[in-house]
Each structure stands twice: as structure tokens, then as C-alpha cells.
Structure 1
Amino acid sequence: MEFSEALKSRRSIRAFSDKPVRQQVIDEILLDALESPSSSNTQPYKVAVAQGDVCQQLGQELLSRYYKINKIQRQPLPIKLFKALTSKAMPDGDYKPILGKYPGIFQDRRIATGKGLYKLLGIGRGDKKARDEQMAKNFTFFDAPVAIFIFIHPGMKYTALVDSGIMMQSLMLAATDKGLGTCPQGALGMWRTPLEKHFDIPNGYKLVCGLALGYPKEDEIVNQYRPDKLDLNEFIISTKK
């Protein structure tokens, strides 16, 4: 693909086919991602790549935790507090997700994106069951055959997060160029413990998020969704007059 074509055709895929991704293709995508720039070439990131049985087992473990925590959230406050203290389902990720409302304009954009997605899927605003089921698909990676988890070394402070974001974009564009789809998922940063069962994570590295990788399922309407982007007037900070 031409670069612009890859950039504009990339989107978050939420329905993957069961077609396996060859190891050579995964390696090529990861090697492309390693061409990314980083602060003083520190490259303060590592990835854990889940495939096959490991991918399926992780998906079931994460899904189980999601259902448990979702159930706890619906309990009366005293029971909720007790369950939160005794349940192993509580998030134990290294970076806590934003809970509740996002600040200011970001909440408006978040709501607009959610509304657009659910409208496309025919999920009504009051259909909590359908919404929960759609959210649950995050934790089985939307049936992708590969899940990639991103770790950074916090010794590089905020630059590690910047560098990992650049690397992820390179990875996603490399996958797009090869006809694969991806979905970056902040939700996959909620639980670290299940990953420690399957991967020898180096000391000090912190889990940031995850990313689903595979071939998009054909004729799935959810894969057509593309939320609105900022226009240039909103994007550019104007000069003082």
C-alpha cells in the first residue's frame, strides 16, 4: 500500500476471522514496528504475543474477571465493598483506567463514538445486556487469533508512553499493509495477573494496554465503523493576534 492508503484504511477491527496468522507474518510486523523512533533510541518497550492455546486461555481468564467485576458493580454498596476487597476480579493493572466520566470535551467525543458504534450495531441506549455483551468481546480480543500486550519501563517516565504509542501506530500500519486488522484496547490493561501465568515478564516492566491482531471477518458491519476525526481548525492551535 501507499502510506496514505494504509493510514486512511486502518480502523479498529471488532470482528476477526478464525484464519490463523503465520509466525513469519507476525515477525515481519513486529520488525517493522521496531523501526519506530524513540527517545534517544531507548526503545523502552516490550511485547507479549499470545497465540493458540495461550490466547484462548487468556481470553477466558479475562472474560471471567470482566463478568465478575460487572456483577459486583451492580450490588448494593456494602456488598460491593466487601466483594471488592475479597474478590480476585478487581483490576490489578499497572495503569488504572479512567472510570466514570472523561473530563470536558473528551466525554462528549467518547459518547459520540459510543453512540455511533451502537447505532450501527442496532443496540438501543437502554439495552444494557447487549451493551455488556459487546463490551465483553474486548476480553476475548474480538475473536482475534493473536493478542499483543504492550509493556514499558517506567524508568523512562512519560517518554516511555509516548514511545510505545509511536511503536503501536507503526505496528498497526504494518499490519494494515499486509491485509490484517488490529484493535488497540485499553481494556486489556485492566488485569496483569493472568498475563503473569503465561509470560515471563521482566522485572520493572509495566503493562500499558493490549492489541488484537488478525484477519478482519468479511461482511461484518461493525468493521465498517469509523468515528469522526477532528478537522484542522480544532486540531491546530492558533497564533495570538
Structure 2
Amino acid sequence: MNDQPGTAQVSTVVQDMASVDAAIESRFSCRAFLPTPVARDTIADILRVASRAPSGTNCQPWKVYVLQGASRDALVGKVCAAHDAIYADPSLAASYKEEYDYYPEKWVSPYIDRRRENGWGLYGLLGIAKGEKDKMHAQHHRNFRFFDAPVGLMFTLDRVMGRGSLVDYGMFMENIMVAARARGLHTCPQAAWNGFGRIILPHIGAGEDEMLVCGMALGHADESHKVNAFHTPRVPVEAFTHWLD
């Protein structure tokens, strides 16, 4: 481990480009994990590497809560119960609001098209047809079990921080996911938890000045589960890039 990263960052040569690319390109939202434990030292090392993410004026706004064992299981029980209660009585949803808009209020093309492709591609693979609400609820419910991953991460941000800190957070979380791949692990970033902050924040011991950014599942992928055969497409570079000469 380099204790003085500033002395080597400029001169470091990345010898194995293929491995760096493979860590990025093999990252996907894993939706089925094995119960195999992940060592605390491994998690800490992933977070150490991820903390090299850039942030505005180096404010490093991230706060991470790692849930394993009994703390993880207790949170799963609480949020699963709330999720089931909302399904039984949709009026309860008004009591569970996320603190920032992750998705737009109004969907427009091409984003709504990609969202639908993603949703129906996943449900189609799992044999869930349009209108099968019970099956959809059951699949969505798996979010709140961290897809059986033994490690759950909750990310919070001090409410005093600006919207730019969410940009910083995205880079930090991407580093976590790539560093996890380098160690043979997989992840699933999860905005599904965001509406349950009123349950999650007290459970993890977050301060009153913190808001929930999102959660993440971390562990060993269940390679035999068909859901992990689902990989989302990406539009070509030409579709989102404007070259200005």
C-alpha cells in the first residue's frame, strides 16, 4: 500500500490496461448472491481504494454504513415489512418519501424507452408477464433483502451539502464497484431503499443532519442464477458524444 499517494500518482504507469477495462466492463447490477461471507478487511480495503475518488474542493462528502449479520438481517426485516404493508395498502406510500428526486417527474424518450427495455427484459427473463403484480412485487422485494448478499452498504450525505456532492458520490460508488470486481466480488447499487430513510437512518445510527443517498449489495455472485445472465445494453459512443474540432 502506498502511504504517500501524491508522490507516485503522476509517475505511476498502469501496465495492464485490459484488467482495468475488464473490471469496469464486467460490472453489472448483480441480483442474486451467494451467502459466502466477505472479510471485513476486504471491505475496508475496497473503501480505502474508493476514497481516492475526486470531490469538489476535496470535501469527501461520503459516509458509509456497513451492515452484516444481525444488523443486516434486522434492517431487512423492518423494510420488507414496510414494503409488504404498502403493497397491501398503497395509501401508506405517502409516508415513505425519498429526500431527493432520483428519477424525473416526467419520463420522455429516449430515457423512458431504455427504462422499459430494462424492466421488461428483466421480467421476461424471470418469466414475469405484464400485469402479474404479485410476481413483480416479489421480485422488487428482493431489493430489500440485498438480493441475499451478506453485505449491505448504506450511503448518507449531510443535508447541508450541495447537489454537486451527489456527483462526487457517484464517482466514489463507481470506485467501490470497480474495486470490488478487482477482488472477485460483485455489487448492486440500489436506489430502491431511498424511500425508506425514516426506517434506515435510525437503524444505522445516522445523525439527524444526514440523508440517505442509496444502498448497495456486495458479495459473491451466484453464477448459477438465471437473473445474473441479464446484462443491460449500452448505446454506442456516437450516440452520446459530440466532437468539436
Aligned residues of 2:201 and 2:212 also touching (Cα < 8 A): no
RMSD in angstroms over aligned alpha carbons?
Answer: 2.0
CA 1:97–1:60 in 2, change beyond 3 Å: closer, same or farther? farther
* Counterpart in the other structure of 1:182: 187
1:59 to 70, 76, 86: 76
Equivalent residues in 2 for 1:84-99 (5 A)?
Answer: 90-96=95-101, 98=103
Where 1:207 maps in the other structure, the secondary structure is strand
Task: Write out aligned runs for 1:1-241 (5 A).
Answer: 2-73=19-90, 80=91, 90-96=95-101, 98=103, 102-237=107-242, 239=244
1:146 Cα offset (Å): 0.8
Q: Which amino acid aligns with 1:106?
A: Y
Distance 1:101 1:35 in 2: 35
Q: CA deviation at 1:203?
A: 4.2
**What per-residue deviation string (whole Å, max 9, x for no partner) do you get for residues 134-158 of structure 1?**
1110111101111101112243312
Distance 2:203 2:134 in 1: 31
Residue 126 of structure 1 and its aligned partner are, at CA, apart by 2.7
Check whether the contact 2:152–2:216 (CA below 8 A) recurs between aligned residues: yes
Alpha-carbon distance, 1:199 to partner: 2.3
Give aligned-pair identity as a percent. Answer: 34
Q: Tell me what 2:3 maps to.
A: none
Amino acid at match of 1:54: S
Q: What is the one-letter code of the residue matched to 2:74?
A: Q
Moved more, 148-157 or 222-231: 148-157
Q: How many residues align?
A: 228
Q: 1:70 to 1:237 in 2, by over 3 A?
A: farther
Q: Verify the 8 A CA contact 1:153 1:160 in the aligned structure 2.
A: no
Distance of 1:219 and 1:2 partners within structure 2: 24
Q: Structure 2: 5+ residue runs without aligned partners? A: 1-17
DSSP 3-state at the match of 2:65: strand
From the superposition, tell whether residues 234 and 9 of structure 1 become closer, same or farther in structure 2 (CA, over 3 Å).
same
Q: What CA distance in whole angstroms lies between the structure 2 residues aligned with 1:100 and 1:229?
A: 24
TM-score after normalising by structure 2: 0.86
The CA deviation at 1:190 is 1.2
Q: CA, structure 1 residues 18+143, in 2 after alignment: closer, same or farther (shift >3 Å)? A: same
1:47-80 CA-partner distances (Å, limit 9, x unpaired): 111110110110111111111112222xxxxxx3
Structure 1 length normalisation: TM-score? Answer: 0.87
Contact 1:154 1:160 in 2 (8 A): no
Shift of 1:223: 0.9
8 Å contact kept, 1:46–1:152: yes
